[in-house]
Amino acid sequence: VALIHYPVLSKNGEVIASAVTNLDLHDIARTARTYGVKGFFVVTPLADQQILAGRILAHWTAGEGARYNPKRGEALALIDIQANFSDVCRAIEDREACRPQVVATSARIAAGTVSYPRLRDMVARGDPYVLAFGTAWGLAEDFIEAADHVLDPIGGQRDYNHLAVRSAAAIVLDRLVGNQNRLSFESGT
């Protein structure tokens, strides 16, 4: 999983670098750990934001927080702070000996998006995938166009589709790599 702070859209549709949000790191790390995700990349080109993310990480994995709540540190230990998305792909390639396929997520309805069952089957084959989530008002169009796949929006045709990125990441991971409860759910029994 990669949480992208650049290039993302502002409320007015401009491409910006967004600020790191403490609870994005906590919530998505806990979800990633629960669903067996191998790494959680926090991507920001801004040096001060890298330092902020690094401090949060150190507090919970080595500092006071690690003693107070070791389960939290176990989740946050999945975090890897990177300056840009190419470095994320390179880090995964180093680890997996294979370039990951990039899956962009978006709340917008578009042609050619991949469905959840299809991507679930693809992911189950074991090749590395990186799921990219945009902060602020979502991933920039150039990022989405460069991805290998774009996932169907969560809300489909719903009239309101403004989930927090923390909630979106939880729902997407549950749909793609959900557990036994889900499997019994899928078969409709």
Q: Give the whole-angstrom CA distance, residue 81 versus residue 163.
A: 24
Q: Which of 39, 45, 128, 155 binds a second copy (CB under 8 A)?
A: 155
Long-range contact list for 89-93, CB < 8 A, 24+ apart?
89/130, 91/39, 91/41, 92/39, 92/128, 92/130
Q: Residue 160 Cβ, how far from a second copy at the closest point, in Å? A: 5
Does residue 189 bind a second copy (CB under 8 A)?
Answer: yes
Does residue 10 bind a second copy (CB under 8 A)?
Answer: no
Q: Give the whole-angstrom CA distance, residue 45 versus residue 28.
A: 20
Q: Give the whole-angstrom CA distance, residue 130 versus residue 78.
A: 14
Q: Residue 18 Cβ, how far from a second copy at the closest point, in Å? A: 15
Let me know: does 120 contact 177? Beta carbons within 8 Å.
yes
Assign 33 to helix, strand or coil.
helix
| Pairing between β-strand 2-4 and β-strand 40-43 as defined by DSSP bridges | parallel
Interface pattern 85-124 for a second copy (x via CB under 8 A): ------------------------------xxx--x----
Q: Which is nearer to a second copy, 5 or 30 (CB)?
A: 30
Q: Residue 89 Cβ, how far from a second copy at the closest point, in Å? A: 26
| Order of strands across the sheet that contains 149-150 | 79-82, 40-43, 2-4, 129-134, 101-104, 149-150
Does residue 179 bind a second copy (CB under 8 A)?
Answer: yes
Q: Residue 83 Cβ, how far from a second copy at the closest point, in Å? A: 27
> Which residues would be at the binding site for a second copy (CB under 8 A)?
11, 23, 26-27, 30-31, 33-34, 36, 69, 71-72, 74-75, 115-117, 120, 152-158, 160-164, 166-171, 174-175, 179-182, 184-189
